[in-house]
Structure 1
């Protein structure tokens, strides 16, 4: 009997071991066909689990083919899948239906805690990695444009995060940058240090209930970046992502400038008028244009009039932009490689990644970034959890070739006919600092070549920046009970930036400076070089260290139909930065030698004879900012229907004045939410989910560049006495405090028609007080009549609307996402030193502090057309036609006499994205729009044309004879130029147009290869993708053909196309 039982036991064990099978599969969105990353796949018992990769693939080992799998994700309805139907261990694609009715279960991060939508009263937007990856690029924040409601990106600025605003402006003169939170701590570094491939999701905190927990830094909204982490009970997953993108050269002809022939006609006219005589005879030898140089040579008999005319006529057909396109601009190429590994057991999880970006822009400027990141989590017993993370980044940026508009002679812009190379492609000298006619003979050939060759000079300049950043985090979490726990967190950040600008001995900068401080003994022919021959090296170094320590109590408990979630803690943070700079002369990069220079003496300049000090380039800086904060947040939920929240934070800092730090005035918020669809009286069968939210609270905005104390800036010694000099940088302001922003938010979340339609509608109103603005002070106490103090106020309001629709289901699906934001603001308090009209007219790119109007408002002089007899622009003094430009542009025109057009920032903006999917193929197209604003076209100013060589193409449309006024508004040419006449026309209403437009922002296409075609069993999934952005405008309201995001005078970027693939093992 024992033998029989033993035999049966052995057979059963063998059968059990033999029955264990590996099951592979892919989890896809049933509506879009897109892979779902982060879905949990569990066995029936729950003891065996796996998590899907970025391509939606998973692999799990089960004891039997009779088992079944539970597949679930926070954004989708869960699904049970039988593994009996697998073919060779490969399941058919598992399709999950998007569960908009479960939107409340998707957690969002505030940076201090995870909140479920079920109990959230505040306004949040969460952007998943899949949405972020619809675009390709090295900057994570650049991917946010058009994919989050209430988030506006101003393309007219170049800053990575400075161009972003959340729900409009909350400050006038203070910082406007949203607070960046990276893995639960404020991020003080360069956003370019963050590899987008490491990002799991981004949460945007928009109202006071969501953001006020961050206190005096949350007034502009908060962007919370959460990076990828390993998960418990997860098999090893390896993901490789590679892509390459190509950026076409920009359209240089978009910038419509005066053509060469017209420009030459103006130069001929000015020459005959004697306009250039003072420059021609000046002992300073100022730079002259090639045409003027020819005219000088003609008049001194060096060349004949016929030859001069031939030379000049040859220039008329030239356009320097052709040479820029031919020799300097190329297709930009960016390469991005990323490797991610993660795994986990029941006691620990880990994630590790490395990334490499190797970019070359259209001008050959380089951007090389290497990133490394690792995170670990350890479970010790049932109550203790330890975590640690390390992120490292190194960036090497190098300058490229000079761009169009980047070469500016001392006289202003380059004439449009100045070419960079001759017909044979040989580099030509280009006007830079001094007259070419003088340089040809300066020093009787004994000086260094004084010509500037743009096509070769950049090769003699090494302009580079090396950045490094190390970010270390450590955390401890201990649960005293199931409800009560404590968290301790530490973050240490070190960053360095080393900028080097090296002009070697052959560079124009070095040759120009050496020649300028040379002297020649013509009797002997000896040359004395006061600045040693060789290279010039400029160095600037900065170091930043920051520490952040946080202690936090967490309480989460359910009492029957009641639930209480609360946190309380403290935060201590210090940011210390210092820097220094210096200049070295006679530098030799080969042997690292240099030559000493006497910086204390003044030397005569070779051309002007003026005594000048040699710049030593020495500078030092040191800054320390400290913050101490206490915070708390609590949310109480009753019957899963009613939620009440309350939060508060108190900040103190060495930035604030004593009067502020001594006051206990915390920033706070309160909110409530009501899930109406759970009520018994709710009788709307087509409405599946309905929730109302109301919040009110206060957050702040602190400017680290301002101090409550008198600060002094020490300068270089006086040039004559050699004694130390200094100036007062800021006067004492003991009442300096943070700017305070109060916001009320009313929101409605809904889902209808069985998940086919969902979204949210929110209305907000905000009031900002204690804003930094100009204030009058007693000028007998300080050396100025005004100071920047907490004296200004503004209001704002708006709507954020999000609509998601599932238009078709099945094998072919079509989904739509609409984002629509409306925002308005107005100044309610601001000191204005004058009411004269000239103070308020402008191009709309700077603040316009008119009470009752938007911060960025556009005003113009009233336009009365051109004088039919003279072509002079006419305006109004009162109700009277006038050409008295002195009066029109001064106190003769008051603010009340100006034309108010409206905002120069869009009042309405958003996007609409459509995703079409068929099985593994998916294509997304997103169209962005901006409405309700104005911009100013550049106006012809004859004073700029004469003095700086700067004029738009509208010069060809100028008034020239009676009757022309019927078809043009460009004034006639007058000599000498009337500066006030130019100002009046340039800021008149006739040049203003509506900025409304619609553009195709990007198209993204992806394809998941079917499991049956994968080359190896070890490969879980392959996803191939193509992304195209900067596609172009579909419609614009203006008739000038201007792209309002890139005003005339800027360069229109080229289209970007990226191709890539992701492989998961």
Structure 2
């Protein structure tokens, strides 16, 4: 579309002026980027000045002088090219200009010029996406755009990232952005979209950019555009890669059996000291009790530790639980894709198929996906165009038993054997076939009745998802300026989960269990658009009118049974006892009318406005309709006469926008009273009110202001600086009700929150020589979140306290004062209050206390720091030299706090669980300067968990990706009959630096800054090739 618009512009305003020449030169101009014909190129004879213009197929024909030697090719968005005349036919490739200013970009319900766009948006191109190896496209956006906070909170293959655009938009409703795929809101499985099918991703961030999506745009919009045919001649492209993964951040060092045994002795010793024993008697008691404390004794002696706290001479290890090496393995990931694309005079086509097999890093963990896509558009008549874009995917995810496996690996003591140990024979027990029997922990003090290796072998946890999406349109051109388009779009996915626990081994031995869950999601969107675009003299006017009907239906069914007579039976019908049976159906409808008007005067002054009315089934009829709007304006100062002669300013544009958006992403029937079934005191079945009706509920409203400057300087540097204010009003909160009503609370629109921030984007073409090129991209985002209104003065929210003037994710707790060097105990700061003459309590003194109960009340707690980073962003560099390309991207997050609850539990003495290696350096009489608390079974370090002791700075830097490739030169490609051929090696998440790494914690956790025993992020090394025919 970009080249067609440019071509029409040039064809209308440039007419060849010199025809009386003696030689005819013909040829074709294509883009070096994708081989697509370049339309509207001015082809000029350097000697005579005569020129011609390339047509819609990139063809040109020009008459030149008999002595002419050079042709000059010029086109907006491409770099000027000089080519020697060597014959009567001259084909050339033009290189896109990275500094191009009139780039066509995807916007809400259409396309627009970057220069005339008054809103805030970021475009991520396929070249940027290809540098990141990922199974889910959401993970690839990290560090590529300002204002977009991407947190890869799960390393499970295929998992989606958490994305926030310009902060936190709600306290209790969703803050997830709206996804739009090929022009239509997407309700399918985001994992179903193959990254290799994507042409670009546009992130819309402010009201001017998003208001046309109304009630679903409050959290921003992510627009995904899939690929179309590019070359006039059909092209086949193939991609293949294989990679191996491991943990991006190693877990805490697992204590060896000797370390664990000696540290357990230390815990018993100090427990005895705390109970009043003398050091000599405490040591003797610990030595005498150590075998019972371990319960499972891996040593060849009943008293493995002496009174000095060290393993006795001659103690030998009988067995060891090498859990991590058995469960964590570097397993292969393979990905293949093939596509066939092209275009004719009337038809554009793209067909693709892909296969992905990601084994992950855990035994039996895997993610498989098969994808297919067909994207065809055709001009039936000059005035009538049809198009269809249909995709299909089937995926299978098999995972160990949730995050429990992660916690098991972090905390299982190395003395716990994987297989049952026979102390009589000093060997592992086996079955009749000689196979080792798994140890299910009947003799453990922790992790009883579970063995994740056995779980992986005998049990199944499989999710299958089938996804179909189709985008179809018909467009009628009444006049060159007046068009009507109707779009019919459908998203369908069916998710099936199958869980099976065997009846022979483990915690369900003698019973067994199975469960099935089916979820079907069907959504459809019918959109009608009427557009008018007209340029006359210095005026350009654009108007869009639209209507949209959206509906979504979700059906679910789940069932579970127990009691299999023997193994090998997997269906529910084979089990004896029903334990769960549930089904449901949810419906959601949205009806919308919308419009947009744009005006441009002389490519200097731009103004735009949007208006949308939405009616949502999630609200009562009296509150169902909401109106959302935006206005935007920009001034392109660089086109003013007083700046035209400033050669180093290529573009300078000021812009501002303001608007109101909505958020209806709440429960499906929030306003309706609900009934539930139950039994009365006499055991009779009946119905009862389970929720009160709430007809006053209305939209959460989002008011957004944006201002900034876009610039391009020295034909090398482009960038933007933007400032935004995002105010969310009428947020939903549950107001408590009197217990006598029988209800705990009712939802009300009574909260406000605000986000203010600054964004910086820089793109620098450092070196642009013919053989060597170096470009650099840098982006940074800072924002502050503030609660401005609550239904009550303050609200407790776990490790947070919500209060007006504070951030949603500001940690709340007691202030830890370190370790008392005299006895190794924790210390906290305690506030001493007095009442002044006004009757107010004021702090007059702060004293130290070793009793956590003294500081557990709210009057002793304080804010400990915000989980939201001060600044986050990315820094990318790309180099190319004689066919060699090198690129890397570093993601950084500066400031922000992390509450490490995983660490808080591992630093304490917990029976049956391993300990954090920091305890090896804990306080003793010989190590009084230690910053780690005395290790005692009687003294639980985790009792101070809600304190600054476990709130850490979370600054980190990660080498997100690095890629080295080689592309064969054109001369070689012609001999091989390839149009392109590239091989590469790539690394993802290879280096992570930050204080959390020392503790064995991945710094990239949840948005809230709390650890959640999640699947860890992985790093990988990939080798691949891609070629086109």
For the aligned pair, the TM-score class normalised by the smaller chain equals 0.7 to 0.9
Q: In structure 2, what is the Cα distance between the partners aligned to 1:995 and 1:438?
A: 31
Deviation at 1:117?
1.1
**Contact 1:126 / 1:204 at 8 angstroms: preserved in 2?**
yes
Asked if the contact 1:74/1:106 (under 8 Å) is kept, the reply is: no
Q: Distance in 2 between matches of 1:242 and 1:438?
A: 45
- Counterpart for residue 720 of structure 2: 760
* Structure 2: distance between partners of 1:687 and 1:321: 69
1:995–1:713 distance in 2 versus 1, CA, 3 Å: farther
For the structure 1 residues 91 and 917, does the alpha-carbon distance in structure 2 shift closer, same or farther, using more than 3 Å as the test? farther
Q: Tell me how far 1:783 sits from its aligned partner.
A: 1.8
Match of 1:76 in 2: 78
What secondary structure does 2:1025 align onto? strand
Residue 461 in structure 1 maps to residue 459 in structure 2: yes
Taking the aligned partners of 1:434 and 1:273, their CA distance within structure 2 comes to: 31
CA deviations over 1:391-423 (Å, ceiling 9, x no partner):
1111122235998844759xx953342132579
| Pair 430,408 (structure 1): closer, same or farther in 2 beyond 3 Å | farther
* Equivalences for residues 48-447 of structure 1 within 5 A: 75-77=77-79, 79=81, 84=86, 94=93, 96=95, 98-100=97-99, 102-103=100-101, 105-156=102-153, 160-161=159-160, 163-230=162-229, 234-249=232-247, 252-254=250-252, 259-265=259-265, 292=292, 305=302, 323-363=322-362, 364-399=364-399, 405-406=405-406, 414-421=412-419, 432=440, 434-435=442-443
User: CA 1:587–1:539 in structure 2 vs 1: closer, same or farther (change >3 Å)?
Assistant: farther
The answer to whether the Cα contact below 8 Å between 2:207 and 2:658 also exists between their aligned partners in 1 is yes
* Residue of 877, 883, 890 corresponding to 2:831: 877
Gaps in structure 1 of 5+ consecutive residues = 1-18, 29-34, 52-59, 276-288, 440-449, 515-534, 600-614
Structure 1 residues 1007 and 581: alpha-carbon distance in aligned structure 2, compared to 1, 3 A threshold: same
Is contact 2:24-2:63 (8 Å) kept? yes
Q: List aligned pairs for 1:341-740, cutoff 5 A.
A: 341-363=340-362, 364-399=364-399, 405-406=405-406, 414-421=412-419, 432=440, 434-435=442-443, 454-508=452-506, 510=508, 512-514=509-511, 536-584=513-561, 585-586=563-564, 599=577, 615-661=578-624, 665-682=626-643, 684-710=646-672, 712=674, 714=676, 724=685, 730-740=691-701
TM-score w.r.t. the length of structure 2 is 0.82
Which residue of structure 1 aligns with residue 281 of structure 2?
none
The 3-state SS of whatever aligns with 1:214 is helix
Q: Unaligned 5+ residue runs, structure 2?
A: 1-22, 44-51, 276-288, 833-844
Offset at 1:676? 0.4
Shift of 1:347: 2.0
Any idea what the Cα deviations from partners look like across 1:975-995, whole Å, max 9, x if unmatched? 3x57xx7433x3333444322
Contact 1:40 1:72 in 2 (8 A): no
TM-score, L = length of structure 1:
0.79
Which string of whole-angstrom CA distances, capped at 9 and with x for unpartnered residues, describes residues 231-257 of structure 1? 5x8221211111112213565543677
Task: Report the alpha carbon displacement of residue 293 of structure 1 after superposing the two structures with TM.
Answer: 8.3
CA distance in 1, matches of 2:398, 2:209: 40
Cα root mean square deviation, aligned: 4.3
- The answer for the alignment partner of 2:973 in structure 1 is 1014
The answer (yes or no) to whether the contact 1:162–1:176 under 8 Å persists in 2 is no
> Offset at 1:462?
2.6
Paired with 1:74 and 1:362, the residues of 2 have a C-alpha distance of 49
Distance change (3 Å), C-alpha of 1:438 and 1:900: closer
Cα distance in 1 for residues equivalent to 2:869 and 2:918: 27
C-alpha distance 889-624 of structure 1, shift in aligned 2 (>3 A):
farther
Q: State whether residues 865 and 965 of structure 1, in contact with CA within 8 Å, keep that contact through their aligned partners in structure 2.
A: no
Residues 296/138 of structure 1: CA separation in 2 closer, same or farther (3 Å cut): closer
Q: CA deviation at 1:705?
A: 2.3
| Separation (CA, whole Å) in 2 of partners of 1:203 and 1:1016 | 39
Aligned residue in 2 for 1:1044: 1003
- Decide which moves more: 1031-1040 or 799-808: 1031-1040
The one-character-per-residue Cα deviations of 1:440-473 (angstroms, maximum 9, x if unpaired) are xxxxxxxxxx976544442222321221111222
What SS does the corresponding residue of 1:213 show, helix, strand or coil? helix
Distance in 1 between the 2:705 and 2:169 partners?
A: 14
- Please tell me whether the aligned partners of residues 155 and 1018 of structure 2 are also in contact (alpha carbons under 8 angstroms): no
Instruction: Go from structure 1 to structure 2 and tell me whether the alpha carbon gap of 1:324 and 1:798 turns closer, same or farther (over 3 Å shift).
Output: same
Query: Following the alignment from structure 2 to structure 1, what is the Cα–Cα distance between the partners of residues 907 and 778?
Result: 48
Matches within 5 A, 1:774-853: 774-777=734-737, 780-781=740-741, 783-784=743-744, 786-810=745-769, 811-832=771-792, 839=796, 842=799, 848-853=801-806
Q: Give distance in 1, aligned partners of 2:170 and 2:923.
A: 44
Say whether the 8 Å CA contact 1:241–1:1063 is kept in structure 2.
yes
Write the distance in 2 (CA, Å) between the matches of 1:351 and 1:953: 55
1:754-786 CA-partner distances (Å, limit 9, x unpaired): x111111111111111112243446554522x4
Is residue 840–residue 859 contact of structure 1 (8 Å, CA) maintained in 2?
no
Shift in Å at residue 675 of structure 1? Answer: 0.6
Assess if the C-alpha contact under 8 Å between 1:555 and 1:567 holds in 2: yes
Distance 1:1040 1:490 in 2: 52
336-345 vs 859-868, greater mean Cα deviation: 859-868
- Over 3 Å counting, the alpha-carbon distance change for 1:567 and 1:999 in structure 2 is same
Q: Distance in 1 between matches of 2:1019 and 2:949?
A: 32
